[in-house]
Amino acid sequence: MKSATAENTQDVTSLDDFLVDNGAGWRLAMTRTTCGVAAGTRPVIIVPGYGMNSFIFGFHPGGPSLAQCLAARGLEVWTVDLRGQGKSICTTGTKRYGIAELAVEDIGAAVRHVLATTNTGACKVDLIGCSLGTALAFAHVACVPNAPVEAIVSMAGLVTWKEVHPIVRWVSASPRLAGMLRFKNTRHMARIALPVIATIAPSILSVYLNHRSSDLSQASRMVQTVEDPHPMMNREIAEWIQRGDLVVRGVNVSRKLGELKNPLFCIVANNDGIVTPATSRHTYDAIGSSRKELLIVGDRDMPIAHGDLFVCRGAQERIFMPIADFLLQT
């Protein structure tokens, strides 16, 4: 089993890029990060959340990224841009899609490609779900019989809304209105606004990024992970918040959690204003797995918000390495 420190992980990785047909008229962008694969490991797929792409998994403002840290420990790490994200390409497909399409078709296509291409020889993958990516990972396992998925890592993720931040509740108050709103050039606007806000009023960002915990001087680079909100997804998420339970294609994923035995590593950000700690932790409490661990990150002196999990100071030791430890031991 390999070990690595945060200092020696940036210059030992190799990258391979792929475009993967999802069977629905989209080619999903995937990147494999490796620096030698440890025996007996499974490939790991990192699944982005809502309004983001996979850029942030390969970036950290002060050291090795999540993907680099995991690869340095001997894991074969894959990142994926689902439809509408990052470098994925719409060929003949529709731009009308929701949670079900991302969870079932897109993750399914990514898993099949990884298992057909991996150098590990494994017959299952591990999934790291980030925010909404956790819901997509569990929806995939719940909806796809015998899905070849072993462990799941939840990074500020959720399946059931147990507690909703007032700002999130206000934004989602009307599913119909949420589904009508259209935003374009969000990344460009964020590139202009975020560095300014980070300089003159960083507390405004604190529900998502906390200036006390993360270096925001490279905010103009961080926004490369930002994607435009999607109207159909907006409506579905608003309906999900009002309902509480996650329901995908008639399957109540929330209720099915108790039947699932996938090993789970649940990471909760103590100052998360997007997915509150109570909501994020609920997945850990509800899952039927006998192999599960809970990591609560942050304290009074270093509050960790939603996005801080990927870019905060010391993320390598606090978050990335514990993920690697769990996956290597599972």
pLDDT in tens, the chain (330 residues): 333 444 444 455 789 999 999 999 999 999 999 998 999 999 999 999 999 999 999 999 999 999 999 999 999 999 999 999 999 999 999 999 999 999 999 999 999 999 999 999 999 999 999 999 999 999 999 999 999 999 999 999 999 999 998 888 888 878 777 666 777 778 878 888 877 877 777 777 888 899 899 998 888 899 999 898 889 999 999 999 999 999 999 999 999 999 999 999 999 999 999 999 999 999 999 999 999 999 999 999 999 999 999 999 999 999 999 999 999 999
d(CA 264, CA 288): 10
CA distances from 264 to 10, 228, 235, 247, 251 (A): 27, 30, 29, 20, 20
Q: Which is it for strands 251-252 and 264-269: parallel, antiparallel or unpaired?
A: unpaired
Question: Tokens 């990147």 correspond to what residue?
Answer: 31
Q: What is the CA radius of gyration of the chain?
A: 18
Q: What is the residue type of 59?
A: F
This prediction's pTM: 0.93
And the tokens for 238? 């608003």
Whether 94 and 105 have beta carbons less than 8 Å apart is answered as no
User: What confidence score (pLDDT) does residue 157 get?
Assistant: 98
User: Mapped to the 3 state alphabet, what secondary structure does the chain carry?
Assistant: CCCCCHHHCCCCCEEEEEEEECCCCEEEEEEEEECCCCCCCCCEEEECCCCECHHHHHCCCCCCCHHHHHHHCCCCEEEEECCCCCCCEECCCCCCCCHHHHHHHHHHHHHHHHHHHCCCCCCCEEEEEECHHHHHHHHHHHHCCCCCEEEEEEECCCCCCCCCCHHHHHHCCCHHHHHHCCCCCHHHHHHHHHHHHHHHCHHHHCCCCCCCCECHHHHHHHHHHECCCCHHHHHHHHHHHHHCCCEECCEEHHHHHHHCCCCEEEEEECCCCCCCHHHHHHHHHHCCCCCEEEEEECCCCCCCCCCHHHHECCHHHHHHHHHHHHHHHC
User: What confidence score (pLDDT) does residue 186 get?
Assistant: 84
User: What confidence score (pLDDT) does residue 192 get?
Assistant: 83
User: What confidence score (pLDDT) does residue 5 get?
Assistant: 42
